[in-house]
A and B are shown apart, each in its own frame.
Chain A
Amino acid sequence: MTEVPFPPLSAEQPEAEGVLSTWFVDDGQHVDAGQTLAEVQVDKVAADVPAPVSGTVHLLVEEEAVVTQGRPIATID
């Protein structure tokens, strides 16, 4: 199992919170390594989250959820 963390968008504030803006995949879907899983943002800085490995993705947070940087947002089996 591979954890997918919320990416560190704010270097100055490691505990900064962001929002999971959009999921581009469904829970339980097969994903390929490199495929865009989600878009996240901290303040107005947005970033794509690519799948680190191929496998079945499990989503751990809902869209619009507030997440602290570095916390897992999904796992891939």
Chain B
Amino acid sequence: MTVTETPATPAPQSHRLTTAKAMADGIAEEMRRDPAVIYLGEDVGAYGGIFGSTTGLLDEFGPTRVLDTPISESAFIGLGIGAAVEGMRPIVELMFADFMGVCLDQIYNHMAKIHFESGGNVKVPMVLTTAVGGGYSDAAQHSQCLWGTFAHLPGMKVVVPSNPYDAKGLMISAIRDDNPVVYMFHKGVMGLAWMAKNPRASADVPDGAYTVEIGKAATARKGTDVTVVTLSLSVHHALDVAERLAPQGIDVEVIDLRSLVPLDREAILGSVARTGHLVVVDEDYLSFGLSGEVVATVTEHDPGMLRAAAVRVANPDTPVPYSRPLEQVVLPGPARIEAAIRKVLGG
């Protein structure tokens, strides 16, 4: 596990970037370094990605390396897999994770299994990028996280950055990885002008290439009383709650998983060993998913670590409503996180 440190003064060789620009910056770094890296998907060229993930790439690299595809996810993800097994390093964008339903065979039967079924002789060094998450009234078919589903299916690494620094570093790591990596970015952390603004969605990011190791969680905030294990946009909600509770004498540690596969179980166990209290915040569905996996990680290791029953804050197994008041009830927002922290501490 690594501790994320925010430098007091930005280094001269850094620039302030939104998460979206940091992601595009990481892609551009690798495309300059390696001609085998290409990007394809819907509206990734002239439009620059509907969530800003590819802004500027077409201008720099041209239409042979930044390809707009038809609305045919099975076909262009298959194209990416073919390119990858032939030695390229394609990045393929699935516009919304919700659309996995029309192309899942390519993802989990081909991208994720070719390495296994060829006895390790054929690699699929491909990145599948996809936008996730709700909070802006985009309803049940455009608001899901679904990272638990991708992580459940063997053969893919799964990374979920929460901030600009990790977005760039995890992108570069994902491109250089010889395994298929699913890179899931929450629309609410991208720093998009037309979405809810998040003050941590823009930050100073080092120029040039650097990597963030896949499979390593970060301590987003150190604390002694309770461990909140979370990821993606929920990291920001958890940090907001932690800052609000600190003056009341409740010291919250926030673990940003950053990767689901591999899962940094050591980081979870290390933190819970210190605090004895666990809250898991997951914007994905409650049942059969990440939140249960995190709790099982602790109880399978040593149930005696927990001084109170763990509490999970997640989507309560319902499609995400369009209605804003209803959506806010379903999502794991700050009020529900605070209530869970108070409950686990016996408050």
Known: A24-B16, A24-B202. A44 touches B191 (CB 8 A): no
Query: Is B193 touching A39 in the complex (CB atoms < 8 A)?
Result: yes
The complex places the Cα of A19 from the Cα of B194 at a distance, in Å, of 10
Contact with B along A52-77 (1 / 0, CB 8 A): 00000000000010000000000000
Query: Is B16 touching A25 in the complex (CB atoms < 8 A)?
Result: yes
Closest residue of A by beta carbon distance from B204 = A24
B10 to chain A minimum Cβ distance, whole angstroms, is 9
With a CB–CB cut-off of 8 A, which chain B residues contact A44?
Answer: 194
Query: Is A22 touching B15 in the complex (CB atoms < 8 A)?
Result: no
With a CB–CB cut-off of 8 A, which chain A residues contact B193?
Answer: 19, 21-22, 39-41, 46
With a CB–CB cut-off of 8 A, which chain A residues contact B16?
Answer: 24-25
Query: Is A64 touching B197 in the complex (CB atoms < 8 A)?
Result: yes
The complex places the Cα of A7 from the Cα of B175 at a distance, in Å, of 35
With a CB–CB cut-off of 8 A, which chain B residues contact A35?
Answer: 15
Spell out A's residues near B (CB within 8 Å): 19, 21-22, 24-25, 35-36, 39-41, 44, 46, 48, 64
With a CB–CB cut-off of 8 A, which chain A residues contact B17?
Answer: 24
The complex places the Cα of A48 from the Cα of B192 at a distance, in Å, of 12
The complex places the Cα of A37 from the Cα of B192 at a distance, in Å, of 15
Interface check B18, CB cutoff 8 A: yes
A27 to chain B minimum Cβ distance, whole angstroms, is 13
Query: Is A22 touching B194 in the complex (CB atoms < 8 A)?
Result: no
Contact with A along B1-32 (1 / 0, CB 8 A): 00000000000000111100100000000000
Given A35-B15, A39-B193, A44-B194, 20 other A-B residues pairs in contact with their CB atoms under 8 A: A19-B193, A21-B193, A21-B197, A22-B18, A22-B193, A22-B202, A24-B15, A24-B16, A24-B202, A25-B16, A36-B15, A36-B21, A39-B18, A40-B193, A41-B194, A46-B52, A46-B192, A46-B193, A46-B194, A48-B55
Can you report 13 A-B residue pairs in the complex whose CB atoms are below 8 A from each other?
A22-B18, A22-B202, A24-B17, A24-B202, A25-B16, A35-B15, A36-B21, A39-B193, A40-B193, A41-B194, A46-B52, A46-B192, A64-B197
Closest residue of B by beta carbon distance from A63 = B197
A10 to chain B minimum Cβ distance, whole angstroms, is 15
With a CB–CB cut-off of 8 A, which chain A residues contact B197?
Answer: 21, 64
The complex places the Cα of A36 from the Cα of B21 at a distance, in Å, of 11
B107 to chain A minimum Cβ distance, whole angstroms, is 29
With a CB–CB cut-off of 8 A, which chain B residues contact A22?
Answer: 18, 191, 193, 202
The complex places the Cα of A39 from the Cα of B55 at a distance, in Å, of 12
The complex places the Cα of A64 from the Cα of B197 at a distance, in Å, of 10
Closest residue of B by beta carbon distance from A64 = B197
B22 to chain A minimum Cβ distance, whole angstroms, is 11
